[in-house]
Amino acid sequence: MSGLQPVRGTRDILPEEGRRFRHVVESGRRVAERFGYEEIATPIFEFSDVFRRTLGDTSDIVTKEMYSFTDKGGDEVTLRPEGTAGVARALISGGLGQNLPLKFFYQGPMFRYERPQKGRYRQFHQIGIELLGVAEPAGDVEAVALGAAVLDALGVFARTTLELNTLGNAASRAAYRKRLIDYLADHHARLSEDSRTRFERNPLRILDSKDEGDRRIVAGAPDFADSLDDESVDFFGTVKEGLDALGIAYKLNTRLVRGLDYYCHTAFEFTTEALGAQGTVLAGGRYDGLVAQMGGPATPGVGWAAGIERLSMLVDDVPPPPRPVAVIPVSGETERRAMLLAHALRRDGFVVELGFRGNLSRRLKRANRMNARAAVILGPDEVARDSATVRDLDTGAQEEVPLSAIGDRLAPYR
């Protein structure tokens, strides 16, 4: 069995990196709670139609990247490639539309079949938020501000740039779509095969193309801003005013788009140059048409998602693991007493390491390797006196302490 390896694009998250992951998740959860968001957890697989309806038949995710399979009951299911669709499905199937507005935070693994690269895996992990039932620009401002606050809590906000754009309302989007089709028609023969397919079904997706030839063509495409009606201009102006009032700086990027029709108004990304080509660490936008497209009631929404892998690569200062107290029996006859003491200390909130074998010297060496703060040594003489020797492993100072007072003596090490 020695030849077994993780599946390509997956990996084991070992304890040291796990602490970084946990720091990202807990920081995101803590900040989201301050904004009034509660945690939701949806299944990691859904009926495939959930994602086909939301991501569109022409998206790369649906056509190339989804992990879909038929289960033993004959149902076609898909490992979730993103989190928003599951939250929207939960709103519909759970009848949650009676309780709007809803504020959700989520975290967990996502799955996409794509080429693994730095900070990107086939099983990857995200934190995200969804604000459902708020049509006002203030919802967009809150979503962006919450994203900025999470990045700030992680100490990475100063190394990011907020890129901002508007996709306008449905009328503005339709007007832009016509202008874009007219422009792309003159370049149709030079588009990539994927983009020629998109041209017929969802031309805005061409703006997302990674093909270099497509990118050169798109560079000359009309600007979305030229197709905005007064309502769209006013909405975006209010969003910008809100961000200005909060002191959140942004850079306008008229090429920042979302190819799917249910997206509207604000689109935003926090990007960084610290990760090379994979520069986006948090991205989101408004999706007022999503829930209705899935068959639910018309429900405005705005949200974002952030990759935990990428964020953890940017985080410099992760809280170290707590330093344990090592409980060390000197001989076999004191091991049972040591086990009982360790259990009592853990119950009282101490992090306790109880070695399973070795003499006093070996166990002390192990305690030092684990960066233990103190050692509680139980020898036959101490046990006979109903006491233990407490050694400060930083200073070397030690004293004998009655077991009845051991918790108070170790309190500074909790």
What amino acid is encoded at 331 in this protein? Answer: S
- Kindly state whether residue 355 falls inside one of the protein's structural domains: yes
CA distances 51 to 54, 59, 262, Å, are 5, 10, 13
Q: Peptide bond preceding 15: is omega within 30 degrees of 0, i.e. cis?
A: no
pLDDT at 60: 58
Say how far apart CA 124 and CA 216 lie, in whole Å: 31
198: nearest Cα among 56, 66, 65: 56
The gap from C-alpha 91 to its chain's centroid, in whole angstroms, comes to 21
- Is 196 among the domain residues? no
Where does residue 355 rank: exposed (0-12), middle (13-18), buried (19+ CB within 10 A)? Answer: middle
Q: Is there a single domain that holds both residue 388 and residue 333?
A: yes
Residue 403: which CATH number? 3.40.50.800
Residues 148 and 58 in one domain: yes
Same domain (yes/no): 263, 336: no
Cβ(222)–Cβ(207) under 8 Å? no
Q: Is the peptide bond before 101 cis (omega within 30 degrees of 0)?
A: yes
389 and 244 belong to one structural domain = no
Between the two ends of the chain, the Cα-to-Cα distance in Å is: 42
Q: Is residue 156 part of a domain?
A: yes
Answer yes or no: do 285 and 333 share one domain: no
- 18-32 as b/e, with b when 16 or more CB fall inside 10 Å? ebbbbbbbebbbebb
Estimate to the nearest angstrom the gap between the alpha carbon of 152 and the chain centroid. Answer: 15
Give the containing element (helix H, strand E) for 163. strand 161-166
Residue 220 amino acid letter: G
Which of the listed residues 269, 284, 314 is the one where a domain comes to its end? 314
Boundary (domain end) residue, out of 287, 314, 341: 314
What is the C-alpha R_g of the chain? 28
Alpha-carbon distance 236 to 230, whole Å?
Answer: 10
Asked if 54 and 11 touch (Cβ cutoff 8 Å), the reply is no
Is residue 65 situated within a structural domain?
yes
Same domain, 48 and 146: yes
DSSP state of 282: E
* 309 & 403 share domain: no
Strand boundaries in 112-159, DSSP class E: 123-132
Are both 354 and 306 inside the same structural domain?
no
**Which of helix, strand or coil describes residue 13?**
coil
Q: What is the CATH number of the domain that holds 93?
A: 3.30.930.10
CA–CA distance, 126 with 106 (Å, rounded to integer): 8
Give me the pLDDT at residue 1, please.
Answer: 44
Is residue 214 one of the residues assigned to a domain? no
Domains contained in the chain, number:
2
Give yes or no: residues 101 and 41 share one domain: yes
Q: Does residue 131 sit within a domain?
A: yes
Domain carrying residue 339: 325-413
DSSP annotation string for 180-216: HHHHHHTTGGGS-HHHHHHHHH-GGGGGG---HHHHH
Q: How many Cβ atoms are within 10 Å of 48's Cβ, its own excluded?
A: 18
Residue 185 lies in a domain: no
Residues found in the chain = 414
Q: Tens-of-pLDDT digits for all 414 residues of the chain?
A: 456 898 888 899 999 899 999 999 999 999 999 999 999 999 999 999 998 877 765 555 666 788 899 999 999 999 999 999 999 999 999 999 899 999 999 999 999 987 766 667 899 999 999 999 999 999 999 999 999 999 999 999 999 999 999 999 989 988 988 999 999 998 888 999 888 888 877 788 788 777 889 889 988 989 888 899 999 999 999 999 999 999 999 999 887 887 676 889 999 999 998 877 658 999 999 999 899 999 999 999 999 999 999 999 999 888 888 999 999 898 878 889 999 999 999 999 999 998 778 788 888 889 889 899 999 999 898 889 999 999 999 999 999 999 999 999 999 888
**268 and 338 in one domain?**
no
| 286 inside domain | yes
